[in-house]
Amino acid sequence: MHVDQIILQSVIAHRLDTIAQEMGIALERSSRSPIFAEACDFSCGVCNQKGELVSQLNGIPILAAAGSFSVQAVLAKYGDNIKEGDIFIVNDPYWGGNHLPDIGIITPVFYQGELVFFTVSRAHHGDIGGAVAGSYNTGATEIFQEGIRIPPTKVASQNIIIDEVLNLITYNTRNPEMLRSDLFAQIGANKIGHDRLRALLGKYGLEKVKESVGQLLQKAEDLTRIEISKFPPGTYVGEEWLDDDGFQQEPVKIKVAVTFKNNEVIIDFTESDKQVTGFVNSALVTTTSAAYIALLWTLSPEIPRNSGAFRPVKVIAPTGTVVNPAEPAPVTLSTLHCASEIISAILKACGKIVPERIPAGFGRYCGPSFYGVDPRNEKFYVGFAFCCLGSGGGMKGRDGLPYMAPISNYGGVRAPNNEANEVQYPLLTLRHHLEIDTAGAGKYRGAPGVKYQVEFYGPDPSIVMFGDGMKIGPYGLEGGEEGSLNKNQLVTKKKGSECLKSKTPPLSLQPGDTLTLFSSGGGGWGNPYERDPQLVYEDYKNGYISKENALKAYGVVLTDKGVQWSETEKIRGLGDLS
């Protein structure tokens, strides 16, 4: 390739990435819902005319990787009937979506009468209807109980919103004004991407841009195949488990066989459990997206995260399994769990080849949605406990990071500001800090979990507890120890103190009731006795570990002034550590 072509390709690639980022900034700043504006639970991207992902704002990885499936669903339904000025909406997990609360907005981009791109925003909305406010229905046995299903549907024509469609969707939710406003924020973000892409085409010309996009996808494919070919041929097996599905008490197995063959990879979930009754089932879009995330993590951070990188990967997920349930199985929790367990199972399998690239286990989400009427404005609200996010696992060369959320989100969801949370919702934050002795021990430890305590003061508040990780902790790797389990304590005027299950149906509370959440610490990587004792002391000073646990987990004897080196040497059975 001529040097001028290389430079042009690089310029266009960076411009496409910037457009996706600009879409994300616009979405964050124009939205009303705290889920968008505070937690940033969304992703934006650009696809080509075939629905192949070209660039993305990483945001929430499980959403970003799924963006192309929504576009392909629109293409499959509308084909040549897609016109300039159309806008489409979709959320159906069995038709291009991943779970109902994540609504995708798809905007085609035409230039000189030709369909060239799609801009895509996919975002989590606070309520999408169904039997439970917040749409995390722990008792759902079919998707119809989880909310309104939106197949690929035209929501605008000739740049004019089709009010009948938008009204039908928002009418079926508990906070229609908020949903409508946030959908317009997505439409606006897509419009910014649309206009920037048109400007890009105008500057460099249709043929040069299309050629560069094709080269970008081919480059990603080539890099992926090169990295795959470096792995020894063979099949590597990994397993991960969910606590339960809320109905059965037995754990739910995710088992994967990852086969490296020449320059291709087969990811086979055939031996995973059959689909279950509860809402941890993962529709194929979510499963495939999770598989891409895990494999590319294993291969190289230098590979562009676009559809070219997905071409050498084949995913086998038999219908009727927990990773590809038959319709109409419920799936709402799946973008957290079992998506995170799918990623973890693949990482464990690949860790048998390249353990130095693989992190220990991440904390699982286990917290409530809460809802009611805010006495300050008499408006209905739905909120989520983003402030109790679990923490990340350690990996070779670094300790885990706190507030990472499940690995399917990988830090994309932000922990909101406590004061902003108290403005948005009728609750008070009583405690919010990293919790001592929760991090999985290792040469590179996991990050500590979080203690988060709130008091509700609105009239008749209700909560729904959803999540996992109260029975199965974040795994350790290469001799590292597990992170802590999720825990909680609800204190009510009626019942006193009780521990809620990870999947608890709606509970009515009273003003003054409190909920304390203890989120998981990440798993440790490597033998804890190989951790530098001085780092253990620093963890003690920071309140991450007690003296007792420093001795028990690391063989390090501490005083308030520092490491007792002679005693530590005896316990560890090593030479001079100073």
Judge whether 428 and 558 are in contact, CB under 8 Å: no
Say if residue 11 is exposed, middle or buried (CB neighbours under 10 Å; 0-12, 13-18, 19+).
middle
Reading the block at residue 399, the tokens are 């300790």
Q: Quick one: pLDDT at residue 414?
A: 81
Neighbours of 204 (CB within 10 A): 16
- Look at residue 4 in the predicted model and tell me its pLDDT: 76
Residue 37: phi and psi, rounded to 5, are -70, -35
User: Residue 536 corresponds to which tokens in the numbers above?
Assistant: 């253990």
3-state helix, strand, coil in the chain (%, to 5): 35, 25, 40
pLDDT of residue 57: 78
Q: What pLDDT is attached to residue 458?
A: 87
User: How far apart, in whole angstroms, are the C-alpha atoms of residue 83 and residue 67?
Assistant: 20
Strand 496-498 vs strand 379-384: parallel, antiparallel, or unpaired?
unpaired
Per-residue pLDDT of the chain (578 residues; tens, 9 = 90+): 677 778 888 999 999 999 999 999 999 999 888 887 777 888 999 999 999 999 987 666 776 667 799 999 999 999 999 999 999 999 999 999 999 999 999 999 999 999 999 999 999 999 999 999 999 999 999 999 999 999 999 999 999 999 999 999 999 999 999 999 999 999 999 999 999 999 999 999 999 999 999 999 999 999 999 999 999 999 999 999 999 999 999 999 999 999 999 999 999 999 999 999 999 999 999 999 999 999 999 999 999 989 999 999 999 999 999 999 999 999 999 999 999 999 999 999 999 999 999 999 999 999 999 999 999 999 999 999 989 999 999 999 999 999 998 999 887 888 888 998 899 999 999 999 999 999 999 999 999 999 999 999 989 999 999 999 999 999 999 999 999 999 999 999 999 999 999 999 999 999 999 999 999 999 999 999 999 999 999 999 999 999 999 999 999 999 999 999 999 999 998 644 44
* Cα→Cα distances 131→127, 128, 139, 235, 296, Å: 11, 10, 9, 43, 37
Could you identify the residue written with the tokens 């072509």?
A: 5
**395 vs 356: CA distance, rounded Å:** 7
The residue with tokens 């919702």 is 425
Q: If we measure between CA atoms, which residue out of 515, 535, 512 comes closest to residue 524? A: 535
Give the helix ranges, DSSP H, for 90-175.
163-171
Domain residue spans in the chain? 3-222, 359-529, 532-572
Q: Over the range 532-570, which residues count as b (16 or more CB within 10 Å of their CB) and which as e?
A: ebebbbebbeeebbeeebbbebbbbbbeeeebbeeebbe
Encode 459-485: b = buried (16+ Cβ within 10 Å), e = exposed: eebbbbbbbbbbebbbbbbbebbbbbb
